Structure 1
């Protein structure tokens, strides 16, 4: 369902929906603030690993919205608060912990999760990265009701998003959540709180599920095709940990690259050309041209000492 199709709902009354937000996406929070009355925000605890938390806290403080940062165990302690707050709806987007039924069942109109794929395909975590790694040409965003099993709730609305060959995960992420905000804004703007939102059951026979990616999953296998390696690089580019290789026990993180067809080299992982601006590395069916990389070492001169034509990445 596209954004324009949501407008068939009855326009809301003068009094906007009361909403509790669980998540880590500032753009979605700002979107919610423009069309609803946010009574509380729940985000991840401070651990120094996510800049979005500070942005969420600053925005909430400026808007006079109370912010809570419970641990996984502490989450249950907020059920009484949420019962008293009596929100019309809970919106979830990128929350760190699984929300228990004792909480997601509180709102009279349910809890809606924003998931960055066309469910039931790509259930699970890190699915934007997985879609690029797998060479998908299309993904999307789904607003669905939350239930106890992950990403299986009834679908309220969804929209497809194309994946361009040059897209990094960050670029695709931003486009997906721009569409999510469009869907969410239209849904809440035209939703009459006296009615109950309806969803459509997912077809589990076509569902796919993906586990969280770990940093070590970014290790490049140079025996794979140029396209597979390129997809891994763009799927893990900043702000993710990066695809990487090793050179004489030094980790080399590759941030940007492109493909150049060339079948002249047989040995994969070989450094064909080391230049000030790029490094070309052979694959089984061409070359990867690395234009931005980082060597993890305290030795600042390591590039000129170690990287030479004819050597190999492992």
Structure 2
């Protein structure tokens, strides 16, 4: 079976590595073009490209799949199946129809819940207690295609997008290999629209905390935006990134954003409902530090009754 792998970020790269380790032959890799990244805007390859280069796999990096050149590339490759894991570009109907077994997609949610670009983050933001992975066949809709296999995964109250992603990668790789091994005999199941919802793309503007929200909601945001774009707030003239916190149900009449208590165990901030105890912070240009370490060098910023901006 001739297989093309299409993907770009680290989530996809780990699936490609798992396929290679399982001795699945990949005829070619399709990934997004190299792009400027970071503060220095240095041009960097996608994580998927790096894996492909290490293993000597042929690469194709078009900026669009809607050109005649791309169409001819697919015709010349004549794949039996394309595995799409967070590739990131729209795939035209003509190309979707080319492989005999279509395009297989690894989607990190229990479809039809959380179709779209950010299912892991949205599951945490919504307070879901369970998520999973769906292996589906792509169609023209947004994650609306029929599903071959699903695997479930509990969401822990301390899970971040980073920690949950690692578990979903593991079960996603296992599920993908199982579907590939039985592709000729499996019949995918059409998705129902009952319970369907959309997970829009995350952007940086979502990461600024509004202290009028409850401690529970703010904790979810901190975990959902770890490792990107990272929840933050302004104290004085400093933008402070908040990497870890825990909600507390204590009541107070102090204004939202007020620092109520500050010691080695955490910095307790008033929210719209309850307190949020901050546990790990990062100042601009600095390292991620525990509160104990932060207070050793930055205690002057965290005076009791000073206030974070909303």
TM-score, normalising length from structure 2?
0.86
User: What's 1:96 paired with?
Assistant: 88
* Matched position secondary structure for 1:198: coil
Partner of 1:187: 179
Once the two structures are superposed, what CA deviation does each residue of 1:266-301 show, in whole Å capped at 9, x if it has no partner? 422111234467322122333211121123379x99
Cα distance change on mapping 1:208 and 1:54 into 2, 3 Å: closer
Pair 1:22-2:14 in alignment: no
Within the candidate set 196, 203, 211, 1:214 is matched to 203
> Which among 303, 306, 312 is matched to residue 307 of structure 2?
312
* Equivalent residue number for residue 263 of structure 1: 251
Work out whether 1:165 is the aligned partner of 2:157: yes
Contiguous gaps of at least 5 residues in structure 2: 287-293
**Larger relative contact order (CA 8 Å, sep ≥ 6):** 1
Q: How many aligned residue pairs are there?
A: 293
**For residues 104-119 of structure 1, what are the structure 2 equivalents within 5 Å?**
104-119=96-111
Where does 1:125-204 land on structure 2 (aligned, <5 Å)?
125-191=117-183, 195=184, 197-204=186-193
Cα 1:53–1:161 change in 2 (3 A) is farther
Cα distance in 2 for partners of 1:227, 1:113 equals 33
Bigger shift: residues 166-175 or 266-275: 266-275
Question: 1:239-254 to 2 correspondence within 5 Å?
Answer: 240-254=228-242
Give 4+ residue runs of structure 1 displaced > 4 Å after superposition: 50-54, 73-76
Residue 283 of structure 2 aligns to a residue whose secondary structure is strand
Offset, 1:84: 1.7
Q: Label 1:230 to 1:113 Cα distance change in 2 as closer, same or farther (>3 A).
A: same
Structure 1 stretches lacking a partner, 5+ long: 1-16
Deviates more, 1:62-71 or 1:141-150: 62-71
Note the aligned Cα RMSD (angstroms): 2.5
